[in-house]
Amino acid sequence: AVQLVESGGGLVQPKESLKISCAASGFTFSNAAMYWVRQAPGKGLEWVARIRTKPNNYATYYADSVKGRFTISRDDSKSMVYLQMDNLKTEDTAMYYCTAAGGETPFDYWGQGVMVTVSS
């Protein structure tokens, strides 16, 4: 079965940095584009970032709200995907989900999420 397990969340102050991780299993990770989607408390879903596969040069894409501050990366040898978040703002407070496509919707598989709180 597909599993996505996020880790690394926590409480940070504005302008600080945090790196969250996602461990994937149960599918051929190197063949899958990976995504981060976030959900602020009591709010809806927002796509954050995408990283494609090696044949696609690991191309990355970002929501305008995080462009220039967040960096998505992956390590195919470890089946891991990361989100480096710099210059965090209070509005980045959210549950961050690692997601992957599975042939039906763009976001077929979801992790349990990791909470990131940005507050002074």
Partner 1 sequence: EIVLTQSPTTIAASPGEKVTITCRASSSVSYMYWYQQKPGASPKPWIYDTSKLASGVPNRFSGSGSGTSYSLTINTMETEDAATYYCQQWSSTPPTFGSGTKLEIK
- Residue 17's closest CA among 71, 95, 94, 73? 71
- How many C-beta neighbours within 10 Å does residue 112 have? 11
Q: Which structure tokens are listed for 63?
A: 């929501």
Binding residue for partner 1, selected from 9, 23, 27, 110, defined by CB under 8 A: 110
Using the minimum distance from each CB to partner 1, give the nearer residue, 31 or 112. Answer: 112
Count of residues touching partner 1 (by CB under 8 A): 18
Per-residue string for binding with partner 1, 43-72, x by CB under 8 A?
-xxxx-------------x-xx--------
- How many C-beta neighbours within 10 Å does residue 41 have? 9
User: Which residues form the interface with partner 1 (CB under 8 A)?
Assistant: 44-47, 61, 63-64, 97, 102, 104-108, 110-113
